[in-house]
Amino acid sequence: DFVIITGDLLLEAERVTISQAKEWYDIYSGLISNFNMSIFNMVGNHDVVGIHYKKDISTEPGYNKEMYRDYFGPTYYSFDWSSYHCIVTLSASNNKSPVIITKSGV
């Protein structure tokens, strides 16, 4: 058994400081570490850090999707489970163009 959490691991990390978001990521990662099954995370629009904070913090470590990647790895990936090939894509993006994933890209 496994769980895919489809984004919004946090609430409004896009509006807070790096340190506040780190505190929330610490809490979340601590909670899921107690699960007795595999957890696969997907970054959501509320998981990107500081992009709507009241001042520019874009040069700080952990900004945008960097903190998510520090905690959980790539924002898109694939994995095999039994006879299934699962693809976890980026659900939060500023890119208006569709993303095309080739077989070799997963």
Spell out the domain ranges in the chain: 2-105
Spatial contact of 5 and 41, defined as CB atoms under 8 Å apart: yes
* 102: DSSP letter: -
Q: Tell me, what's the pLDDT at 89?
A: 85
Q: Which region among 11-15, 58-62, 72-76, 98-102 has the lowest average model confidence (pLDDT)?
A: 98-102
Closest by CA to 68, choosing from 51, 94, 43, 95, is: 43
Contact yes or no for 52/13 (Cβ under 8 A): no
Is the pLDDT reported for residue 98 higher than 70?
Answer: no
Q: What is the pLDDT of residues 50-91, one digit of tens each?
A: 999 999 999 999 999 999 999 999 998 999 999 999 999 876
Which residue type occupies 76?
Answer: Y
∠ CA 8-95-88, nearest 5°, is 50
